[in-house]
Amino acid sequence: MSALPALSTVPIDRCADLDLARIRAEFPILRQRVHGKPLVYLDNAASVQRPKAVIDAISDCYSSYYGNIHRGVHLLSERSTTAYEGAREKVRAFLNAASVQEIIFTRNTTESINLVASSFGGSVVKAGDEIVITGMEHHSNIVPWQMLCERTGAALKVVPFTDAGELILEEYERLLDSGRVKLVGVVHLSNALGTLNPVKAMIEMAHARGVPVLVDGAQSVPHLAVDVRELDCEFYAFSSHKIYGPAGVGVLYGKKALLEAMPPYQGGGDMISLVTFEKTTYADLPNKFEAGTPSIADVIGLGAALDWLNAIGLDAVAAHEHALLEYTTARLSEIPGLRLIGTARDKAALASFTMQGIHPHDIGTILDREGVAIRAGHHCAQPVMQRYGVPATARASFAVYNTHDEADVLVKALWKVKELFA
């Protein structure tokens, strides 16, 4: 993955590469009005909407070929198995992983991280060891490590960041130098700040000291091309519902040698090769980590989402969203009393902000009445809120289907907020 250019170097007209009208027409949910106003959906970092191709793929599975996977000799089971494993291959190709054995389906990013914390962490981390995370992690990349530390007596160390929202790499290096670090967990794209972290450099720094790295890619995968072999991370986690796929499916990429050495996370059906009451032999990868019947149709839906996104091309998506973010940031900056939270040089996909004297919840309610859906709250990143001394922020987050006109509706509605609270 190459680093994205700084905002100022992305020409605004590059969004012309995309046929936005055609793209928007593929999202049935976007056609509606809310409170009598056209829906402007800017809560994509929480969960994005799905194109008809994905809805149809799920519907088609249930209407025409659904059966349980990996166990039936009947046609429907075989067809479902082929489609399910086909989706795994699509995820492999999407991340450029070496093998489908390295792609584990979970429920979501949170479960992917918990799997690593429990299985890898549980077998490797001992009292006195350290786990390094950053100050801008989502709760899902904090709490599993805290739980692991409580169980094992290890310590959690946190990489600080600047007022702009950029990690202080000197501090990161200092933490790595303790010699006790067993794993680094870092968010690729911060959901609260929009910061795009220099994960490739951070992975190299960790590897120089023999430390494996887990990257939380929940926010990044819909916005930029990710190549796990180029990054060379040990683990990469993301959720289907943030990348135009259905909710209820997550992905964990892990290097094969590590996954093979790790004990199973959950026990049950589909993860075994032989069970007797005396002893059970576990299945090979990836099934070892997929106990029980998975959300089959939703995994297939994720495959359809990746096909859909690949057809547009992530480079075109990134260029469009960058232009949109640059435009929105400029317009937001014109509003007196509006403070952007997160002004890193490398930023993507979202603008987090506060308005003087106006609570983000009030902003959210007023915007909703104008048809504009944003997130108002702590974004499951309370330490980030504490870092900036705010209880919450308002956050507008973009997807490929958002337009400059929608950014204008957002900004106009924010001026209304100011007027009401004047």
Partner 1 sequence: MNDLRDLYQEVILDHNKRPRNFRIIEQPTHRAEGVNPLCGDRINVYLNIEDEVIKDITFQGAGCAISSASASLMTEALKGKPIGEIEHLFEAFHNVVTSDCECPHGLGKLSVLAGVRDYPSRVKCATLAWHAVRAALEEHKEPVATE
- Site residues (vs partner 1, CB under 8 A): 35, 357-362, 365-366, 369, 376-378, 382, 385, 391-392, 416, 420-421
Report in angstroms how near the CB of residue 369 gets to partner 1 at its nearest: 5
For residues 245 and 360, which CB has a smaller minimum distance to partner 1 in the complex?
Answer: 360
Report in angstroms how near the CB of residue 391 gets to partner 1 at its nearest: 5
Q: Which of the following is catalytic: 15, 61, 233, 380?
A: 380
DSSP 218: T
For residues 362 and 408, which CB has a smaller minimum distance to partner 1 in the complex?
Answer: 362
For residues 213 and 385, which CB has a smaller minimum distance to partner 1 in the complex?
Answer: 385
Assess contact for 352 and 194: CB atoms under 8 A: yes
For residues 106 and 397, which CB has a smaller minimum distance to partner 1 in the complex?
Answer: 397
Q: Which single residue is written with the structure tokens 């959690």? A: 156
Residue 272 β-bridge partners: 282
Q: What share of the chain is helix, strand, coil (3-state, %, to 5)?
A: 45, 20, 35
For residues 28 and 357, which CB has a smaller minimum distance to partner 1 in the complex?
Answer: 357
Report in angstroms how near the CB of residue 46 gets to partner 1 at its nearest: 13
Q: Measure CA 38 to chain center.
A: 27
Report in angstroms how near the CB of residue 381 gets to partner 1 at its nearest: 10
Q: At what angle do helices 199-207 and 169-176 cross, to 10 degrees?
A: 20
The whole-angstrom separation of Cα 187 and Cα 197 is: 7
Report in angstroms how near the CB of residue 78 gets to partner 1 at its nearest: 45
Calculate the alpha carbon distances from 290 to 252, 283, 360 in Å. Answer: 11, 10, 40
- Edge to edge, the sheet with strand 350-355 lists 338-340, 350-355, 393-397, 375-377
CA angle 382, 385, 389 (to 5 degrees): 135
Report in angstroms how near the CB of residue 376 gets to partner 1 at its nearest: 7
For residues 47 and 99, which CB has a smaller minimum distance to partner 1 in the complex?
Answer: 47
Q: Could you tell me the two tokens for 330?
A: 């400029």
The whole-angstrom separation of Cα 107 and Cα 246 is: 11
CB-based contacts of 114, cutoff 8 Å, min separation 6 = 144, 265
Q: Is 61 a catalytic residue?
A: no
Backbone phi and psi for residue 347, each to the nearest 5 degrees, phi listed first: -135, 155
The whole-angstrom separation of Cα 256 and Cα 246 is: 27
Residue 177 β-bridge partners: none
What is the set of active-site residues?
Answer: 380
